[in-house]
Amino acid sequence: MQSFPAVDPIPLPAPIWLLKLLHIVTLALHFVAVEMLLGGLLLAVLFSLFRGSPSSMVAAKALARRLTVVMTYVINLGVPPLLFAQVLYGRALYTSSVLIGAYWISIIAILTLTYWLLYRFSARLEAGKSAWWVGLSAWVLAGFIARLLSTNMTLMLRPEAWRQMYSASGAGIYLPTGDPTLEPRWLMMLAGGLFIGGLWLVYLAGRSTFTADEKSFLAGAGGKIAALFGVVYLVAGLWAAGVQPEVVKAGLHTHWLYKFAGFAGYGWLALVAVAVLLAAVAGFGKLTAGWVGWAGVLVGTLIEIMLVVYRDGVRDLTLLSKGFDVWDRVVVTNWSVVGLFLVLFVGGLGVVGWLVSVVARASKVMEGAA
């Protein structure tokens, strides 16, 4: 029996390759922000426990202050890939979203609460009050949102599970069970958080708003954390790749298009290994030079792009093996709208770049004194 709902008769308004490209770019940026949030928050909570160590408290406050801004990027960079994913994979994604509907809709409320807790966490730290339990609550909620997203993104690939879930309840109150890919995928995002969070500290070590002692603390702690959790991230990634169905693994080596995604998987492995080495050198050598931090930013971003390309291949091949071909859609490109969209997209990126440059040029306040 056909599991996927019928295709929407309205044709796609832009070429599939363009929608996919935009999806990959925006999702990779969403992942960078998500990893900064998940990792940076947990690290800030841990640092805030050492109230007797001035450097540790400066690190906790520096991260907490930035996390409210990072959250805006998590959300705003999450919306575009959601729209592109719905356009491309709507028949699968809408179905899985409805099946876990109660949880899916609750993300909005959980997100709002998490955001509020982030502000409370930062404010309590600035006021010199105990704040770890506030930060930890925010982290647990953010981790739960990540879990729900992993759940939906894997359930959309399992049409064989949908009918039984819907028979059990149409109210969207059950979460699916029995998917071997869910656990490693979620753990990978959590470990990736500490890995990217560590690289973020190495980047901060190069900033002129910290004293020499604080810089050396940030580079030492950040480098070691990134090196350690880079290895965990790598192992979780290999686990997530290893539990994919055989047809997907084979497709990543043989399918003319998705071989490219297979290569991205190897690229991901190589780049994580490079980042682990860089982080270990920065951590044990307490390197605070600006270029080390920027190298970490570059490698970290490339790692997320590779991951998203690989993940895209896994999704398409899994769906293809179940009769859903993402490329099999009627396209009637509305070039004037596509053109307008691209102009606004580039303009929007320009405005963000300008905002970043204004922040970079603003007069600096030493963070420990702030």
Binding segment toward ligand HEM, per CB under 6 A, in 46-54, 149-157, 258-266, 339-347:
149-157
The residues in 84-103 that bind ligand HEM, with binding defined as CB under 6 A, are: 85
Question: Angle at CA 128, nearest 5°, toward 125 and 132?
Answer: 45
Binding segment toward ligand HEM, per CB under 6 A, in 30-38, 164-172, 195-203, 288-296:
30-38
DSSP letters spanning 9-31: SSPBSS-HHHHHHHHHHHHHHHH
The residue within the footprint of ligand HEM, chosen from 60, 70, 145, 165 (CB under 6 A), is: 145
Tokens of 331: 């396209």
Would you say 134 and 117 are in contact if contact means Cβ atoms under 8 Å apart?
yes
Q: Is 114 in the site for ligand HEM (CB under 6 A)?
A: yes
Shortest Å, Cβ 38 to ligand HEM: 6
Q: Which is nearer to ligand HEM, 55 or 318 (CB)?
A: 318
Q: Is 185 in the site for ligand HEM (CB under 6 A)?
A: yes
Tokens of 93: 């994604």
Question: Angle at CA 56, nearest 5°, toward 53 and 62?
Answer: 140
Site string for ligand HEM, 32-61 (x = CB under 6 A): --x--xx-----------------------
Q: Which is nearer to ligand HEM, 37 or 228 (CB)?
A: 37
The residue within the footprint of ligand HEM, chosen from 30, 124, 215, 224 (CB under 6 A), is: 30
Shortest Å, Cβ 312 to ligand HEM: 8
* CB neighbours of residue 167 within 10 Å: 8
Binding segment toward ligand HEM, per CB under 6 A, in 56-64, 140-148, 263-271, 347-355:
140-148
Tokens of 256: 């003319």
DSSP letters spanning 44-66: HHHHHT-TT-HHHHHHHHHHHHH
Tokens of 294: 């920027």
Would you say 148 and 131 are in contact if contact means Cβ atoms under 8 Å apart?
no
Three-state secondary structure call for residue 331: strand
Shortest Å, Cβ 138 to ligand HEM: 9
The residues in 56-85 that bind ligand HEM, with binding defined as CB under 6 A, are: 74-75, 78-79, 81-82, 85
Which residues, other chains included, contact 204 with Cβ-Cβ below 8 Å and sequence gap of 6+? 59, 62, 210, 218, 222, 293
Which residues, other chains included, contact 368 with Cβ-Cβ below 8 Å and sequence gap of 6+? 54, 58, 210, 211, 214
Residues that bind ligand HEM (rule: CB under 6 A) add up to a total of 22
Shortest Å, Cβ 283 to ligand HEM: 26
Q: Which is nearer to ligand HEM, 14 or 85 (CB)?
A: 85
Query: In the complex, which residues of this chain contact ligand HEM (CB under 6 A)?
Result: 27, 30, 34, 37-38, 74-75, 78-79, 81-82, 85, 111, 114, 142, 145-146, 149-150, 153, 185, 189
